[in-house]
Amino acid sequence: MSGFLSQPGDIIIGGTFVIHVNRNYIQPLFTTNPTDLQCHTFGSESYQGMHALMFAVQEINKNPELLPNITLGFQIFDTCTAMRRTAQGMFWMLSGRQELTPNYHCNRESHLAGIIGDSASTRAILMAQILGLQHYPQIPLSRCSESCPVGFTKLTLPGKPICCFQCVRCPQGQISNQTDAVMCEQCLWDTWSSFQQDKCIPKAIDFLSYEELLGLSLAAISISSSVVPLCIVSIFMCHKTTPVVRANNYSLSCLLLLSLFLCFLCSLGFIGYPQSEMCLLRQVAFGMVFSLCISSVLAKTITVVIAFTAIQPGSRLKRWTSVKVSYCVVVFCMCIQLSVCIVWLSFSPPFPEYDIITQPGVIIINCNEGSPIAFWCMLGFLGILASISFIVAFLARRLPDSFNEAKFITFSMLAFLTVWISFIPAYFSARGKYTVAMEIFAILSSTWAMVACIFMPKCYIILLTPDMNSRELLMRRGRAQ
């Protein structure tokens, strides 16, 4: 016979426990003694009860003042939730034999004092009908509440016995992996409770990646858009001797187109897993590339104003019409932005951040800008450059239209400022990857605004109305104005 445990003593306490909660049923042949049931699936609750009985017996035997000169023993049997096993264990404890004998008469001088069990009422009633004949006391396992399943914890009801409780589901992020749990266990910071709340599973990781539709779409738009400035450069190179190209500072236009090409591509640095190097470089690259772009626009605007002011009689600005002045403006603006970025990276550089608070059960990985002041100083400097370009271009919009692109610059800077002013509330209201997506959208939108407003009218004249791209027509329109 299997599934029993005993310790001899002067007084024996019996106990039937469900140590295993499942068993394999074997069909009896009725020609031989039935074989033992094969028990499986360990049950922790009754196992704890069994150890409580063994511990109590051990503690009583250690204390000579409780039962002097008397040794307690126990007989424990695993019933496997089977009526047959319950009867088998009960007869074993009554007879003291592992092999059951038909019509065996119980020994009234048995050392068995009583039996604890069973946990189920059907098996407890079976035991009571037999134990009552011999007047053996039976201590049932009583409760007024059903067992709490995994994922729940017991909440004692005020004014009720301890066996009466209410099952309460564990809070999010906590688990209980055993029945009738007294308290829930907190998951680690990078794990979260499962749907049944019986185990901790790794949290989902959220960032703007190339594998999802949003990241893939933004990357495709960025790459495809970067081809447009290159195409415009090739058009300008093929028609660099024409009046439209020559009248608008060919070399500075190529520099501006190169910066617009880089502006489209710098948005790719915001997509993908936020590593340390990526966090360090993406905002700096964005700030420097856009500084090159806006300073080139500012240089073009200043060049237009100086060029038309220098033709006035007695003007001393003729020496400032050189292309070197335009490049000095670009270099000066770039140096200021570079200084801001160097101070930023030296004292409070950006770094990857794991956000476990915003969205429960999800780790949002993003780049912490390190110093919000430095980040907004960088954006603020771009806003100052764009504002100066807008004001200067707006004041120069009434110069002769044949050689003047000031009004196109006015529209482009107005669109640029509108996009980035709208970005500010969107940046503070969005969370996680959507904050990054909003910045990418602002980068692409503002870059497209400059491409469309400054260069599309020139491409229209060069490719679709070449008859307007002549010096005579431009001079005639200039005299008319």
- Dump pLDDT digits (tens) for 431-455: 888 989 999 999 999 999 999 998 9
Predicted confidence at residue 32, as pLDDT, reads 75
Domains of the chain: 4-139 (3.40.50.2300), 152-202 (no CATH), 213-480 (1.20.1070.10)
Average of pLDDT values for 75-95?
Answer: 80
Record the pTM.
0.67
- Cα distance between residue 120 and residue 381, in whole Å: 78
Predicted confidence at residue 187, as pLDDT, reads 92
- Cα distance between residue 331 and residue 336, in whole Å: 9
Average of pLDDT values for 114-141?
Answer: 75
DSSP 451: I
Structure tokens at 199: 């185990």
Could you tell me the pLDDT band of residue 415, with boundaries at 50, 70 and 90? very high
Residue positions counted in the chain: 481
Predicted confidence at residue 407, as pLDDT, reads 82
Average of pLDDT values for 327-333?
Answer: 89
Predicted confidence at residue 400, as pLDDT, reads 58
Neighbours of 273 (CB within 10 A): 12
Q: Does 143 score more than 80 pLDDT?
A: no
Lowest mean pLDDT among 158-162, 166-170, 369-373: 158-162
Predicted confidence at residue 102, as pLDDT, reads 60
Predicted confidence at residue 480, as pLDDT, reads 46
Predicted confidence at residue 220, as pLDDT, reads 95
Q: Does 316 score more than 60 pLDDT?
A: no
Predicted confidence at residue 470, as pLDDT, reads 66
Q: Does 183 score more than 60 pLDDT?
A: yes
Q: Does 251 score more than 80 pLDDT?
A: yes
Lowest mean pLDDT among 10-19, 245-254, 333-342, 358-367: 245-254
Lowest mean pLDDT among 30-44, 56-70, 260-274, 358-372: 30-44
* Distance (Å) of CA 19 to CA 4, 158, 198: 10, 31, 21
b/e sequence 195-212, b meaning 16+ C-beta within 10 Å: eebbebeebeebbbeeee
Place of tokens 């069909």: 27
Q: What is the mean pLDDT of the chain?
A: 83
- Cα distance between residue 165 and residue 240, in whole Å: 88
- Percent of the chain exceeding pLDDT 90 equals 32
Angle subtended at Cα 264 by Cα 261 and Cα 270, rounded to the nearest 5 degrees: 140
Check if the beta carbon of residue 374 is closer than 8 Å to that of residue 343.
Answer: yes
- Cα distance between residue 116 and residue 50, in whole Å: 10
